[in-house]
Amino acid sequence: MSGAKDYGRVAVLMGGWSAEREISLLSGRAVLAALQAEGVNARGIDLGRDACQVLATGGFDRVFIALHGRRGEDGCIQGMLEILDLPYTGSGVTGSAVCMNKVTTKRIWDGTGLPTPAFAELGADTEPQFLVQRVGFPLIVKPSLEGSSLGMRKVDHPNQLKAAHAEAAGFRCPVVAEAWVMGSEYTVAILDGEALPVIRLETPREFYDYEAKYRANDTRYVIPCGLDSERESEVQQLALTAFRVTGATGWGRVDLLIDGRGDPWLIEVNTVPGMTDHSLVPMAARARGIDFDELVWRILETSLDHS
């Protein structure tokens, strides 16, 4: 497509009712402003339970998905848009569903020989000895269907498991225990088959949690990331492979750790990452010479894959 009018009327979906609603609203508003600045006929929609009716009767030609979390990033909305025959941005139904589920993602990586920390599903009655043998301590406990580090807690001793499980299970989804990796945190943004510059994340907190992501003023985002060019290229290729084998397409972000020996460990894929001026994908894009408005335009182009 050559111009804004060629995209027709674009719905920017944001908000919704997941635990990441407020972050989604920030992303959606930023995306909407960027599209309108580029001359796109875009309208923001705070997703409600009447989403199907609103989209079916709104005269839209395509959809920019700026939803985070369940019912927006997990294949549900994508499936509805497929039924409505509305092209949309980002991953399809399968890639979205797989990447939203941390256990499923890790099983795929494990099965394809990609490096990811040891893990096990965690129930209220899981024996600590099982986790000692399968995962080891320390470990990190996570809700398997949440993003933004919600409900995550580091566990150093078996007597902390019960509280950690209760917190994660409060999000009403399966819980996963994952081996704790001592090392540096990195993230790789993916845009239409290209890995953007790697970002190293630094926080004085135990890990890059919700506070570090959205509230703290002492989180550092290091670009260039400090890896030499050959090593950075290897990490980018690993991220592209990790993204592809999950069925993810279009754009997204792969998070990983590199331990003290220099070995990488894949953590998760985000198929609809944050899209404010302070989010990680826009940071990586700027380092690549792509400003925010151009980034949003290029993400909108991924809707052509679903046309």
Domain boundaries, the chain: 4-89+294-300, 99-114+183-290, 119-179
Residue 117 vs residues 112, 134, 177: alpha-carbon distances, Å: 14, 11, 10
Looking at residue 110, what is its pLDDT?
Answer: 95
End-to-end CA distance of the chain: 12
| Chain centre distance of CA 305 | 20
How far is residue 242's CA from residue 238's CA, in Å, rounded to a whole number? Answer: 6
In 3D space, the residue among 230, 234, 252, 235 whose CA is nearest the CA of residue 243 turns out to be 252
What does the pLDDT look like over 165-184, one tens digit per residue? 888 888 787 889 999 999 99
Looking at residue 231, what is its pLDDT?
Answer: 97
The CATH number of domain 119-179 is 3.40.1440.10:
no
Which of 108-122, 139-153, 227-241 bottoms out in mean pLDDT, i.e. has the lowest?
139-153
Could you tell me the two tokens for 193? 């088959």
Looking at residue 216, what is its pLDDT?
Answer: 59
Question: Is pLDDT above 90 for 281?
Answer: yes
Q: Going by C-beta distance under 8 Å and a sequence separation of 6 or more, which residues neighbour residue 288? A: 196, 197
Positions marked active-site: 20, 148, 214, 253, 255, 268, 270, 274
What does the pLDDT look like over 88-132, one tens digit per residue? 999 999 999 999 999 999 999 999 999 999 999 888 778 878 888
Q: For residue 300, how many other CB atoms are within 10 A of its CB? A: 26
Question: Is pLDDT above 80 for 1?
Answer: no
The CATH number of domain 4-89+294-300 is 3.90.650.10:
no
Fold of 99-114+183-290: D-amino Acid Aminotransferase; Chain A, domain 1 (3.30.470)
Average pLDDT, the chain: 90
